[in-house]
Amino acid sequence: MNSYKKFLFILAAVFAVVSIYFIVQTFAKYITNVSGDTGVSIARWNISVNNQSIKNGSSLSSAITPTFEGNDNIASNIIAPNAAGYFDLNFDFSQADVSFKYNISTSVSPNSSVKDLIVTDYSIDDGAKIPVTSGDSISGQIKYADNVTSRKIRVYIMWDDSSNAAMNNIDDAAAAKIINGKALMDVNISFTQITDSP
């Protein structure tokens, strides 16, 4: 009986060693496959306005140039009461990988000789004019899924000489007499990432 127990003990030991070998080989297969690098690109956020990047809160003062076409009573590229003009904001977001919204707000600069500059309308990609109520901002959304990479926004401005204007005729004449006087408008543009709704 003693040799029978030895045989069973040896058989159990061999079975245990064989089992451990197969278990180690099975786990080794899985262990060798878990290492590796995952690579996911970070979304790009590089938007430019009039060929100038907005990164780091850049100033666009030299990139926004108004155009005044003039009429029978006012020379071109001159501003006078009732003169109307526009400036273009050309957005290039071909280097942006997310949906976003934009907001454009305007106000008369405190350094402006003319206090009655107003935004009257705007258009998107040379479309129809959209009226702007005094104090309202211009806003919109660009969805990444729409595959649009640029947008042109034309903002129409004028020297308001209506009865609602802050300056009267005497103020208008005084503004015209200021040497090197300028009609200045502050334009603030913000871009904010959005997530598409499900």
Q: Is the pLDDT of residue 48 over 70?
A: yes
Cα–Cα distance list, 110 to 43, 114, 117, 132 (Å): 38, 9, 12, 22
Where do runs of H (alpha helix) occur along the chain?
Answer: 2-32, 169-177
Q: Where are the domains of the chain?
A: 1-36, 45-193
The whole model's pTM is what? 0.72
pLDDT of residue 31: 43
- Do residues 156 and 84 make contact, with C-beta atoms less than 8 angstroms apart? yes
CA distance 186 to 111: 10
Where do runs of H (alpha helix) occur along 144-189?
Answer: 169-177
Higher-pLDDT residue of 173, 136: 136
Q: What is the pLDDT averaged over residues 147-171? A: 83
List the helix and strand counts (H, then E) for the chain. Answer: 2, 9
Domain 45-193, CATH among 2.60.40, 3.40.50, 1.10.155, 3.90.75: 2.60.40
pLDDT of residue 153: 95
Tokens of 189: 């543009």
Q: Is the pLDDT of residue 198 over 60?
A: no
- The percent of residues in the chain predicted with pLDDT above 70, rounded, is 68
pLDDT of residue 8: 65
